[in-house]
Structure 1
Amino acid sequence: MSEDAIEEFIQRRKKATINDVARLARVSKKTVSRVINKSPSVRAETRDRVNAIIERIGFRPDPQARGLAFRRSFLIGLIYDNPNAQYVVNMQMGALDALRGSGSELVVHPCDRHSERFIEDIRDFIELQRLAGVIILPPISEDKRLLALLEELDVDYVRVSAVQPTTTTGGYAVLSKERIGCRAAGEHLAQLGHKQIGFITGPEGYVSAIERRAGFREGLQAHGLDINWELEAQGAYTFESGHAAALKILDRPNRPTAIFASNDEMAIGAYKAAFELGLRIPADLSICGYDDSPMALRVSPPLTTVNLPSRDMAKAAAMTLLTDEDDRRDEIIFESGLVVRESTARL
């Protein structure tokens, strides 16, 4: 901010507020709060600039508000409503990778987005713990009510979600290009000669499920194929739903020679269905998943799957919260790619 603007403000003899300091210093209100509370996360140059303007315009922090800020903990919240247990574990581990040695700790909070108290329960959690920041996982990371609550509470947050090419997300976000990896999965199965290909979708309404289906379809279409609705079944990102969906698909008269499941949990459920029906993998049925979770290497044969770097994504989200606001990137985007193993074979 120019000297003229500062002098003009002083001459107006207006009582200075934290918003005035932020505007004149060209930083966010949260950065001013950190400077006032002597947070070590603010760069020296920024701290000096903010302190100089505080002195020039005679800003005096509200003691009560400052007391509340001092009582804010060094806790980072991880909030989720996701049925994929391994995904949540990977996210926890990634966040802990970033927080180790930082003086901050992780608090994990499962919730139920279908509950009437969904928003109020999260409000209570954040206010009770006095969280310094929040990481929110899909699908609740796409809930506008939750985002509005976090803005209202003035708490730092980072969303983890899938990229949608036609959507402007806004805010701090860690995003994954899930469509690309699923396109590779569709092309892989088509190149192996499969034409009757089953598909187990993710839960209805999930951005990730929409993106994975779109990518898989693009991969098939690149080879003159398409998703056959008769060989498509709804899943819920759980082992049980994958098992049920695979049994349904494999009971069709035009039984598929390959199945793509929208995550590894459901793909392993398809393994069980194949075993129960006496089908050999991959001789009778090729199976491909998504996530590249640890279980992909623990089943026999090892699972062909799309790699989602969920642990690295959570680490990036936590690192964003530990970084001074002026140095943060609005979006950090991760790619996904196919990892070919022994569960898929040429027809």
Structure 2
Amino acid sequence: MAQNTASDKKPTINDVARLANVSKKTVSRVLNKSPLTTEVTRARVEKVIDELGFVPNPQARALALRRNFFIVLFHDNPNAQTVLNFQKGVLDRIKTSDLALVVRPVDRHSPDMLDDIAHFLDQQRPLAALVLPPISEDDRIAELLRAKNVEYARIGSAQLDDLPHSVFSNDREAVKAACSELIRAGHKAIALIKGPAGFRSAAEREQGFREAMAAAGLPVEEHFVVEGTYRLNSGYVAAQKLLAGDNPPTAIFASNDEMAAGALHAARERGINVPEDLSLVGFDDSPTASHLWPPLSTVRWPIMEMGRMAAQKVAQRYLPDGTDTDLDDAQLSSEFISRKSIAPPRHLQ
């Protein structure tokens, strides 16, 4: 077997420093996108790195930063599709970098939640953290991340922090627009399957529903407002309740697609046809929405785009093309997607 020669050896950070005529610390700063280097020095070091084909050691970089090269996603979200779609957005944004994503579920009902998060941060030393709703609405988590000097972004249905640490959507306005579509179709008896108490998204979406009704001069029948859990079965149970009365609603807005799917099953069990007898609108534009029959009209929540933006905010220094982003860009717009689950009420057909 041939012996390795000196030319077979991989270039090291010492080789880069020697050829660029800088210290090893300066090379480390360039690799870690530190602002403490001049453009001239950075360009010289990067030129040597390219010429040598030098690939930095992730463990060495982590040691220099005293952080590990991953982003942690904290969540306690009942909607698995939401978590998955957000992950897709994050992974898409960091795929050209050395960063990894670690998903860390927590229990928002546990009295030990903050201690568990603090222990994870101390043990694992992530580069940054992303926090999904509803726990993103807990200011104590943001305070903990700041105290641990961990870069972070909070995701929500409304602004939860200063703009550099926020990524949010316009749920209230989007739901108002969606419910206005039902009203334009001629519906007046419109019901709401709202999200669970304690979720900002649930409150924002309910407010959008109420504002649409008020703008049209329509009263909200409080018995037409039923709480769900964002899970399919809760939509089924809520719709069973709504459709059981003598004067059921002619349209239902469900605060996510899973609950809308549950409502569709409940309607079918009662022999109620969608959209001929009952119009139905959801929220998320999840795969469920387009796979149902009839395909579900819904509000597209830009959750994957929110994942991309959040990753950009917390890790832009470590992304090959991520240094020119305006950190005050924080809001992404939801939009109404019209499909086949809306029709005028039966008496107008």
Task: Report the TM-score, using the length of structure 2 for normalisation.
Answer: 0.79
Residue 77 of structure 1 aligns with which residue?
A: 72
Alpha-carbon spacing, 1:285–1:73, altered in 2? closer, same or farther (3 Å): same
Tell me, in whole angstroms, the C-alpha distance in 1 between the residues paired with 2:26 and 2:156: 31
State whether structure 2 residue 33 is matched by structure 1 residue 42. yes
Matches within 5 A, 1:322-341: 322-324=315-317, 328-341=326-339
Q: Secondary structure at the match of 1:132?
A: strand
CA contact (8 A) 1:242 1:265 kept: yes
Paired with 1:332 and 1:163, the residues of 2 have a C-alpha distance of: 10
Conservation of the 8 A alpha-carbon contact between 2:85 and 2:304:
yes
Rate the CA distance shift 1:248–1:291 in 2: closer, same or farther, 3 A.
same
Letter in 2 for 1:122: I
- Residue 137 in structure 1 maps to residue 128 in structure 2: no
Per-residue CA shift, 1:269-321, capped at 9, x if unaligned? 11111111111111111110011111111000000001111000101100112
- For structure 2, the 5+ residue unaligned runs are 1-24, 42-60, 318-322
Distance 2:306 2:82 in 1: 11
Q: How far off is 1:42 after superposition?
A: 2.8
Contact 2:243 / 2:249 at 8 angstroms: preserved in 1? yes
Matched, 1:253 2:246: yes
Q: What SS does the aligned partner of 1:47 have?
A: coil
- Contact 1:160 / 1:173 at 8 angstroms: preserved in 2? yes
> For the structure 1 residues 35 and 162, does the alpha-carbon distance in structure 2 shift closer, same or farther, using more than 3 Å as the test?
farther
* One-letter amino acid of the counterpart of residue 338, structure 1: F
Q: CA RMSD in A?
A: 2.3
1:122 paired with 2:117, answer yes
Q: CA deviation at 1:70?
A: 3.5
- Percent of aligned positions that are identical: 42
> 3-state DSSP class of the match of 2:126?
coil
3-state SS of 1:74 partner: strand
- Compared CA separation, residues 77 and 168, structure 1 to 2 (3 A): closer
The answer to whether the Cα contact below 8 Å between 1:289 and 1:304 also exists between their aligned partners in 2 is: yes
Distance 1:273 1:202 in 2: 18
TM score, norm. by length of structure 1: 0.80
What whole-Å deviation, never above 9, does each CA across 1:111-155 have from its counterpart, x for those lacking one?
111101111111122222220001101111110111111111110
Q: 1:247 to 1:104 in 2, by over 3 A?
A: same
CA distance in 2, matches of 1:274, 1:251: 10
**2:236 pairs with one of 228, 243, 252:** 243
The 1:274–1:185 alpha-carbon spacing in structure 2 relative to 1, beyond 3 Å, is same
Deviation at 1:37, TM superposition (A): 5.5
Q: What is the rounded CA distance, in whole Å, between the counterparts of 2:173 and 2:85 in structure 1? A: 21
Q: What residue is the counterpart of 2:310 in the other structure? A: 317
Q: Residue type of the partner of 1:136?
A: V
Q: Deviations over 1:242-270 (max 9, x none)?
A: 11111111112321111000111111111
Q: 1:265 to 1:299 in 2, by over 3 A?
A: same
Contact 2:190 2:253 in 1 (8 A): yes
Name the residue aligned to 2:9. none
Q: 2-side partners of 1:199 and 1:75: how far apart? A: 40
The match for 1:157 is: 152
1:199–1:227 Cα contact (<8 Å) kept? no
Match of 2:300 among 307, 318, 330: 307
Q: Which amino acid in 2 is paired with 1:117? A: D
Question: 1:232: Cα distance to partner?
Answer: 0.8
Q: Pick closer, same or farther for the CA change 1:265–1:114 going to 2, 3 Å.
A: same
For 1:155 and 1:140, the matched residues in 2 are separated by: 17
Work out which of the residue numbers 180, 192, 204 in structure 1 matches 2:197: 204
Q: Which moved more, 1:270-279 or 1:321-330?
A: 321-330
User: In structure 2, how many angstroms separate the alpha carbons of the residues matched to 1:329 and 1:185?
Assistant: 30
Relative to 1, partners in 2 of residues 1:254 and 1:169: Cα closer, same or farther, differing over 3 Å?
A: farther
Q: Check 1:69–1:124 CA distance in 2 against 1; reply closer, same or farther (3 A cut).
A: farther
Structure 1 letter corresponding to 2:113? F
Any conservation in 2 of the 1:243–1:273 contact (CA below 8 Å)? yes
Give the match's secondary structure for 2:339: coil
C-alpha contact (below 8 Å) 1:80/1:109 kept by paired residues: yes
Structure 1 segment 7-22 matched on structure 2, within 5 A:
none
Q: Deviations over 1:49-90 (max 9, x none)?
A: 9x9xxxxxxxxxxxxxx9965341111111111101111110
Cα 1:67–1:138, aligned 2, differ >3 Å: closer, same or farther?
closer
Residue in 2 aligned with 1:279?
272
Aligned to 1:100: 95
